[in-house]
Structure 1
Amino acid sequence: MKKTLAALALGTALLSAGQAMATDYVIDKNGQHAFVNFKISHLGYSWLYGTFKDFDGSFSFDEKNPEASKVQVTMNTASVDTNHAERDKHIRSKDFLNVGKNPQATFVSTAVKSTGTDTADIAGNLTLNGVTKPVVIKAKLIGQGDDPWGGYRAGFEGSTTLNLKDFAIQKDLGPASQEVELIFSFEGVRT
C-alpha cells in the first residue's frame, strides 16, 4: 500500500511539473524579427536612436504561470549602430562601451512578476561596460501563434531606463543625457 501511495504521489508531482513547464523559444534574429535598440537625449534638443545589430538570446514563456518565464540576451557591443560612423566609433571607445575590453553586454532574468493582462516586470542582471547591475524591464506580450512555416512564435517588447554612470560610463554629455532607454523587441520561435 505504501508503494502504491508513493507511486501515485510521484506520478501526480511529475504530471503537475509537466503542466507548469515553460515553453522554450529562440529569438529570431536571423529573420530580422528582433531588435535591441536604445534612445538617449541629445543635449535636451532631440533624441538619438541606436541599435545593437549583433545579438543572440532565448526565452522561456509559460502563459499560465508567467512567473516561471525566463529570458537571456547577449549583445556584441562592437555592433552598435547609430547611423553615423564617427559617433559609433566614439561610442565603442573607452568613453562609453569600451568594446576592446568589454566585447559583450548581457541580460539574464532573475524573476518575472505579472503586472496585468499580457504585461510583466522582468527583473534581472544587466552587464554593460564590465559592470553588472539589477534592472527591471517593463514587458508586454505582443502576440503568439502559428506561423506560415509550421512553427509557433511568441513576441514581446520591453524597456528599461539606465543611468550611464551606474555602468561606469563617465563621459558627461550634459544634464539631459544622463540616462538611456534600452528597448527590447523580440519574436521567438518555439524550439
Structure 2
Amino acid sequence: MKKLIIVGAIASCLASNMASAANYVIDTKGAHAFINFKIKHLGYSWLHGRFNQFEGEFNYDAKKPNDSAIKLVIDTGSIDSNHAERDKHLRGKDFLNVSKYPKAKFESTDITFNDATKGTVTGNFTLHGVTKTIHFDIQKLGEGSDPWGGYRTGFEGNTKIKLADYGIEYDLGPASTHVDLGLYIEGIRK
C-alpha cells in the first residue's frame, strides 16, 4: 500500500509538471502572426515586405521559460513587397530561387530569458539551401484567455541576417548587404 501511495504521488507530480508546459500553434489562419523584413534601398530609404504564408508552433511555460522551443516553416514564394514585378525578381534565381528552395526553416536550439518578458532565441535558420545559426532578441507581449474559450501567448522577435551568408550575392550596393527580420506571433494553446 505504501508503494502505491509513493508511485501515485510521483505520477501526480509528473502529470502536474507536464500540464504546466503548453504547446501552441502559431495563429497564421487568423492573421495574428507576421514575418516582416526590411532592407535599405540604395542607402536612401527602406524597402519593406513580408512573407504571407508560414506555419509553426512553439512550447512555452511561464514557470520555466528557458525550456521553451519554436519551429517555423516559411513558404518563400509568398514574399510580398507590395510590387508584383519586384516580387517576381525576388522569387527568381538572383535572390530566393523559390523553384529550387521553396521553404525556409527556423528551429530553436536555445531560448534564454533575461527576465519575465525579454530574452534571446538561438537556432538554425535555413534559407536558400544554407543553414546558419542566428539569434533573435525576443519580447513576450502577453498571455491570457481569448473570447472564444482558448488561451493565447504572444511574442515578437528581431534579428539581422547577411544575404551573402545564405549564398544571395546579388549586388544591391554597400548599404543593402543585410536584411532586418521581424517575427510577430500569437500562439493558440493546443
- TM class by shorter chain equals over 0.9
TM-score (norm 2): 0.93
**Contact residue 22 and residue 68 of structure 1 kept, 8 A:** no
Q: Which residue of 1 aligns with 2:85?
A: 86
Once the two structures are superposed, what CA deviation does each residue of 1:54-81 show, in whole Å capped at 9, x if it has no partner? 1001111111111110101100000000
Runs of 4+ in structure 1 off by over 3 angstroms are 7-14
How far apart, CA to CA, are the structure 1 residues paired with 2:182 and 2:21?
24
Tell me how far 1:172 sits from its aligned partner: 1.3
How far apart, CA to CA, are the structure 2 residues paired with 1:139 and 1:36?
14
How far apart, CA to CA, are the structure 2 residues paired with 1:48 and 1:13?
55
Amino acid paired to 2:165: D
Amino acid paired to 1:68: D
Once the two structures are superposed, what CA deviation does each residue of 1:55-114 show, in whole Å capped at 9, x if it has no partner? 001111111111110101100000000000111011111111010000000100111111
C-alpha distance 33-136 of structure 1, shift in aligned 2 (>3 A): same
Q: Which residue of 1 aligns with 2:63?
A: 64
Q: Which runs of 5+ in 2 are unaligned?
A: none
Tell me how far 1:120 sits from its aligned partner: 1.4
Residue 40 in 1 paired to residue 58 in 2? no
Map of 1:44-123 to 2, 5 A cutoff?
A: 44-123=43-122
How far apart, CA to CA, are the structure 1 residues paired with 2:98 and 2:31?
24
Amino acid paired to 2:13: L
Once the two structures are superposed, what CA deviation does each residue of 1:132-178 show, in whole Å capped at 9, x if it has no partner? 00001111101110000000001100011000000100101111000
C-alpha distance 111-17 of structure 1, shift in aligned 2 (>3 A): farther
How far apart, CA to CA, are the structure 1 residues paired with 2:113 and 2:6?
32
Q: Which residue of 1 aligns with 2:17?
A: 19
Aligned length: 189
Q: Which residue of 2 aligns with 1:170?
A: 169
| RMSD, aligned α-carbons | 1.9
Q: Which runs of 5+ in 1 are unaligned?
A: none
Q: Which residue of 2 aligns with 1:185?
A: 184
TM-score (norm 1): 0.92
